[in-house]
Structure 1
Amino acid sequence: MHCRRSAWFAIAALALAANAASASQRDDAQPATAKPAQAMPCKDESDWNEATAPRHVFGNTWYVGSCGITAVLITSPEGHVLIDGATEQAADGIARSIEASGHRLRDVRVILNTHEHFDHAGGIAKLQQLSGARVLSRTAALPVLRSGKSMRNDPQHLELKAFPAIPDARRIADDGVVRVGTLTVQVHATPGHAPGSTSFSWRSCEGTDCRQVVYADSVSALADGEYLYSDHPEYRASFESGMQAIADIDPCDILLTPHPSVSALWPRLRGEQPMASEGACRALAESGRQNLQKRLDKESTETPR
């Protein structure tokens, strides 16, 4: 098993080196010609850094992340969009996964980010360097992406590691649309888990069977040892509006999340559960609301007044 995993990474690494060397000579994206690597099981499906083979999700949508952190590749003949870069340590594995899926890393035109934490943005700077892509983000996340350092307005600030900065990250509107050729990705402002939390949706087709894929950001109400949601009513209100925005995305045919375990992605990719599930976005939002209420209840009973 280890030999097979090493073999496909070695082949992909050779292709990556050749393409990265000429990344500055950008041309029209080429159709995939290589067959995707056989899916390799993860030793630990929660490991943020463990590299794994690419998985075909649906249509032009691919999972190219690590075992425990999602990165999504959306492809088109004119170029591709990558969402998230996982950790700094996972960046090379993501690059190899893109190549192993039969797509060229240098054809990635835009890199997006669900939220400005090291486990989802840490690898973006390296992937930008390798691909030459533009990095786009909502305004709320830009200061952190450009500096690589968390700010106190993030509930998890004291527990967040620094990551490689992306000084030329550019702004996209809270309700903007990212276009690469015929590819259209809708931006949804869904603040809460982080101030810059963002979700995305797009249409993927297999023949005449078309589905809306939604990559919804995390809805967990986590905090460091100092932050209390009960002391920040404005942030709490923005969190609630973000969860409502996720619930309102319709249709929500295929749900993806930054941590694959949250949306049971691995069992779905193995065919053990349906890839599409009606009401998935509403269910995710409701789980977030319940989680936030539990956090508030805990704060009310544990915080001296």
Structure 2
Amino acid sequence: MKKQIIGCITLMAACLITAKAADWYAPQEPFPLYGNTYYVGTGGISAVLITSPAGHILVDVGGPEATEPVVAHIRKLGFRVEDIRYILNSHAHQDHAGAIADVQKLSGATVLASPASVKVLESGQPDPADAQFPNLTPMSPVAHTRAVRDGEIVHLGPLAVTAHFTPGHTQGGVSWTWQAEEGGRTVNVVFADSLYALAAEGRYFSRNPLYPHAQADVERSIATVAALPCDVLISAHPELGGLWERKAKQAALGDVAFIDAEACRNYAAKARATLAQTLAAEAGS
């Protein structure tokens, strides 16, 4: 996926989908997002820890290079990796899931994902139907997985995290939502999966015989994310959801800096524009 994003897509959307692989793992100090929700990822790949006295939930980890910093971030915040009970996955590409096997071994957590993603995570092999397949990298197989249903609520003590299937970027994409409370105010938090229509060089997103309904899926997923109750957005790649712009205001405003009721709709609008560019480029080829 790294090579595809950097070299194979020439649309303006490629600039949105960021940067060089080195930037994905740029150093990033962990920080509170809101209430019991913390950013523990790297500079370009989101990982979020949701904490409770009954144990913790980790949403995504990153690629293999992210294992060490994410574990260190969790411990730096004062939490035990061994207390992670669930690891939730957005989609089963190496840059978001490649470190899951390592963190699962350290924590003993159960890994939750969509049925399509569970197949990839368990085997460690990329999905051949993925339009990005020629550039996807195998991962370490993940043990102790469980497939969730669309709309299923994952409970852990006081925590309740809902799965929203958002396929298109991959067949198994999931966005996750929950509520966080701070200072008597409760907000809706969204970890939004990637919604971008991408294909490797020589393949097509819109004319993929192995995944013929990819366009319909991504259109539906964009609409799903746009309609979610959404106060605090973390996107799978943090810069695409505007996280760093909001983070820059945290020192002055506190954690309310992360509240933006338009964030999910803006994120969906970017994905919709990328889809239009991808379809236009593919129609002319």
TM-score, reference length from structure 2: 0.86
For residue 246 of structure 2, the aligned residue among 268, 277, 280 is: 268
How far off is 1:286 after superposition?
1.8
Residue in 1 aligned with 2:282? 299
Q: CA deviation at 1:80?
A: 0.6
**What TM-score do you get using the length of structure 1 for normalisation?**
0.81
In structure 2, the partner of 1:73 is 49
The Cα offsets for residues 191-245 of structure 1, whole Å up to 9 and x where unpaired, read as: 1111111101110011311111101111111111232123245221111111111
Q: Where does residue 266 of structure 2 map in the other structure?
A: 283
Give the fraction of aligned pairs with identical amino acids, expressed as a percent: 38
* Amino acid in the other structure paired with 2:240: V
Say if 1:45 and 1:67, in contact at 8 Å, map to a contact too: no
Structure 2: gaps of 5 or more residues: 1-19
- In the alignment, does 2:28 pair up with 1:52? yes
Seen in structure 2, the aligned counterparts of structure 1 residues 249 and 113 have a Cα distance that, compared at 3 Å, is same
Indicate which of 105, 125, 131 corresponds to 1:149: 125
Deviations 1:169-190 (A, max 9, x none): 2111121111111100011001
SS in structure 1 at match of 2:23: coil
Aligned length: 258
Aligned to 1:236: 215
Q: Structure 2 CA distance, aligned partners of 1:90 and 1:229?
A: 28
* Structure showing greater relative contact order (alpha-carbon pairs closer than 8 Å, 6 or more residues apart): 2
Distance in 2 (CA, whole Å) between partners of 1:115 and 1:283 is 21
Is contact 1:83–1:112 with CA below 8 Å preserved after alignment? Answer: yes
String of CA shifts for 1:56-90, please: whole Å, max 9, x gaps.
Answer: 11100100011211100001111110000101111
| SS in structure 2 of the partner of residue 95 of structure 1 | helix
Is it true that 1:125 corresponds to 2:101 in the alignment?
yes
In structure 2, relative to structure 1, the CA distance for the partners of 1:199 and 1:46 (3 Å cut) is: farther
Give me the whole-angstrom Cα distance separating, in 2, the residues matched to 1:278 and 1:137.
27
Residue 49 to residue 185, structure 1, CA distance change in 2 (3 Å): same
Task: String of CA shifts for 1:240-290, please: whole Å, max 9, x gaps.
Answer: 11111111112x001111111112212322317941112221221121111
RMSD of aligned residue pairs (Cα, Å): 1.7
* 8 Å CA contact 2:206, 2:279 repeated in 1: yes
Which residue in 1 is equivalent to 2:139?
A: 163
SS of the counterpart of 2:129? coil
- State how far apart, in whole Å, the 1-side matches of 2:149 and 2:242 are: 30
CA distance in structure 2 between the partners assigned to 1:133 and 1:167 by the alignment? 9
Q: Report the CA distance shift for 1:109/1:169 in structure 2 as closer, same or farther (over 3 A).
A: same
Alignment of 1:196-235 (within 5 A): 196-232=172-208, 233-235=212-214
Q: By how many angstroms is 1:51 displaced?
A: 4.1
Tell me: CA distance 1:154–1:122, structure 2 relative to 1, closer, same or farther (3 Å). same
Q: What is the match of residue 134 of structure 1? A: 110
- Structure 1 unaligned spans of 5+: 1-43
